[in-house]
Amino acid sequence: MKPKEYTNNKPDFEELVDIGKSEGRFLILHNDDVHSFDYVIDTLIEVCDMESTQAEQCTFLVHYKGKCDVKKGTFGILKPFKEGLIERGLNATID
């Protein structure tokens, strides 16, 4: 008798994270007390394709409230934005 071959049909990590949360995740930028306002604004414009006014408002919210929702979407859509912010030294999470 020939042994059964095992196949892994489990979804990858991204698919597991997004089950039941089609658009309900947020990219959150956290305050770090290290970077200047101009640096954070420029980074949000470059990485997250924000308009300058929106990037300024987000930066002020991060400074005064400690965090700000930057974008909304699925984990797969938000992950490259998060990585771009982290590569530039900012603190970001996906919740």
- pLDDT for 36-63, tens place per residue? 999 999 999 999 999 999 999 999 999 9
Contacts of 51 (CB under 8 A, 6+ apart): 45
pLDDT digits 0-9 by tens, 59-94? 999 999 999 999 999 999 999 999 999 999 999 999
Q: What's this model's pTM, rounded to 2 decimal places?
A: 0.76
Residue for token digits 């095992």?
6
- Structure tokens, 27: 């990219």
Comparing CA positions, the residue from 29, 33, 32, 24 lying closest to residue 44 is 29
CATH for 21-94?
3.30.1390.10
Report the greatest alpha carbon distance in the chain. Answer: 69
